[in-house]
Structure 1
Amino acid sequence: MELRGVEELMDLLRACRGAWDTPDRTGDPVDLHDHALQTAALLRRSHPADKELQVAGLVHDIGHLLRPGDDAGHADHAADVVRPLLGERVARLVQLHVPAKRYLAAVAPERGLSPQSALTLTLQGGTMSPAEAAAFAQDPLAEDAVTLRQADDAGKVVGLDAGVMEDWRTVLELVASRHSRLGAVD
């Protein structure tokens, strides 16, 4: 799938209403739509100037919609779809939200995961080894990916009002516009 613009991305995000991270709805307690809004809102609150990080939070799980049941590959699928429109940094943050979970499981095992995240951790490679964790920590985006992961883990609250998807159109347009101006530089 190739997104031809922000409107197509908005359609995809709206399609997350009533779609779940697991086809049988045994996963996280909120649908992908509410999870996206909650994750992005948490990032907006904690990092108000970092629009790319916020947008990564908004789109990080669309791979579950694109390829239902592919827990191991959902981040890569989402990254591939958003990269041409939103740029390399957003795509890499989306891609890194799974390795960030594996990293946190290694360096902060006491923090715990949601039941569904704990289940999918094994499918996604399990807890990182010390060598993998050290390599991940060297990635220039590691800190931001961990921030995204923490918002991802926290953005699963049933009934929490995190706004409406339309509120994010302007931010998506800003990030997409910035990426298109930079062109191949990204």
Structure 2
Amino acid sequence: MDLLRACRGAWDTPDRSGDPVDLHDHGLQTAALLRRSHPADKELQVAGLVHDLGHLLFPGDDAGHADHAAEALRPLLGDRVARLVGLHVPAKRYLAAVEPARALSPQSALTLRAQGGVMGADEVRAFAADPEAEAAVTLRQADDAGKVPGLDAGVMEDWRPVLERVAAGVDARTP
């Protein structure tokens, strides 16, 4: 919770030239969208809440932020949450390949190249075969939509019980 609260006033780029909301509001918005679309999948919701913590842990590392966050979160929130967090950048690359007309935020479009660019055909097939591909794409879509300045998506403290249950292994994915 302390790390999530530290996201207030922290941005995806050190000079604030990136997305129009701070990491705190972005995480809340992403998680709220996932709660609405996938109410039974608490791990997916939590992945949305924490997916960009790598920007806080390693400022300026756009290419590695997802992997840094996944590595830091695995012992706290489990393998699936960490896996989804790690896949949110490959999901962007995948969507850029399969939906080339799909709009990205200006910052996401800018960082796509540093993150490996649009996936090639072999990468697309490999990503699509991943058992978590659908959930990762869902997370990515919420990530792209959760960047609305001034949108009230609740308060971080409301997520404490969900985080505690996921951390305890109580709220695994419900099919």
Indicate whether 1:35 and 2:17 are aligned: no
User: Per-residue deviation at 1:94?
Assistant: 0.1
Among 113, 116, 124, the alignment partner of 1:133 is 124
User: Per-residue deviation at 1:85?
Assistant: 1.1
Indicate whether 1:112 and 2:77 are aligned: no
CA distance in structure 2 between the aligned counterparts of 1:25 and 1:178, rounded to whole angstroms: 36
Q: Percent identity?
A: 82
Indicate whether 1:18 and 2:9 are aligned: yes
Corresponding residue for residue 6 of structure 1:
none
Corresponding residue for residue 144 of structure 1:
135
User: Per-residue deviation at 1:135?
Assistant: 0.6
Matches within 5 A, 1:31-70: 31-70=22-61
User: Per-residue deviation at 1:178?
Assistant: 1.0
Indicate whether 1:75 and 2:66 are aligned: yes
TM-score for both structures, normalised by structure 2: 0.96
AA at the equivalent of 1:169: R
Question: Which has the larger helix fraction?
Answer: 1
CA distance in structure 1 between the aligned counterparts of 2:127 and 2:162, rounded to whole angstroms: 29
Corresponding residue for residue 144 of structure 2:
153
Corresponding residue for residue 94 of structure 2:
103
TM-score for both structures, normalised by structure 1: 0.91
RMSD over aligned Cα atoms: 1.3
Q: Which runs of 5+ in 1 are unaligned?
A: 1-9
SS of alignment partner, residue 169 of structure 2: helix
Corresponding residue for residue 170 of structure 1:
161
AA at the equivalent of 1:83: R
CA distance in structure 2 between the aligned counterparts of 1:104 and 1:64, rounded to whole angstroms: 22
CA distance in structure 1 between the aligned counterparts of 2:118 and 2:133, rounded to whole angstroms: 16
User: Per-residue deviation at 1:109?
Assistant: 1.1
Runs of 4+ in 1 over 4 A off after TM superposition: none
CA distance in structure 1 between the aligned counterparts of 2:62 and 2:77, rounded to whole angstroms: 23
User: Per-residue deviation at 1:98?
Assistant: 0.1
Report the number of matched residues: 172
CA distance in structure 1 between the aligned counterparts of 2:75 and 2:69, rounded to whole angstroms: 11
User: Per-residue deviation at 1:63?
Assistant: 0.3
User: Per-residue deviation at 1:112?
Assistant: 1.3
Q: Which runs of 5+ in 2 are unaligned?
A: none
Indicate whether 1:90 and 2:81 are aligned: yes
